[in-house]
Amino acid sequence: MNLWNRMMCFCRRKSPWLFHMNSGSCNGCDIELVASLSPRYDAEQLGIRLEGSPRHADILCITGPVTKNSVNAIKTVYCQVCGPKAVVAIGSCPATTNVFIDSRTLAGPLNKHIPVDVFVPGCPPRPDAIIQGVAKAAEILAERSAAQSAVPAVQEPECAEAIAAESGEVHS
**Residues found near other proteins in the complex (CB under 8 A):** 7-8, 10-12, 14-15, 17, 39, 42, 44-45, 47, 49-53, 55-56, 58, 80, 82-84, 145, 152
| Nearest to other proteins of 39, 157 (CB atom) | 39
Q: What's the first-to-final CA gap in the chain, in angstroms?
A: 49
| Nearest to other proteins of 105, 167 (CB atom) | 167
| Nearest to other proteins of 53, 105 (CB atom) | 53
CB of 104 to other proteins, least distance (A): 32
The helix (H) or strand (E) run that includes residue 50 is strand 49-50
Residue length of the chain? 172
| Nearest to other proteins of 76, 96 (CB atom) | 76
CB of 1 to other proteins, least distance (A): 13
| Nearest to other proteins of 55, 68 (CB atom) | 55
Minimal CA–CA distance to 120: which of 44, 48, 28?
28
CA atoms within 13 A on the CB side of 117: 22
Q: CA-CA distance, 147 to 92, in Å (whole number)?
A: 30
CB of 66 to other proteins, least distance (A): 22
CB of 121 to other proteins, least distance (A): 27
In this structure, what are the phi and psi dihedrals at residue 16, rounded to the nearest 5 degrees? Answer: -80, 120
CB of 65 to other proteins, least distance (A): 24
Burial class (CB within 10 angstroms; exposed 0-12, middle 13-18, buried 19+) of 83: middle
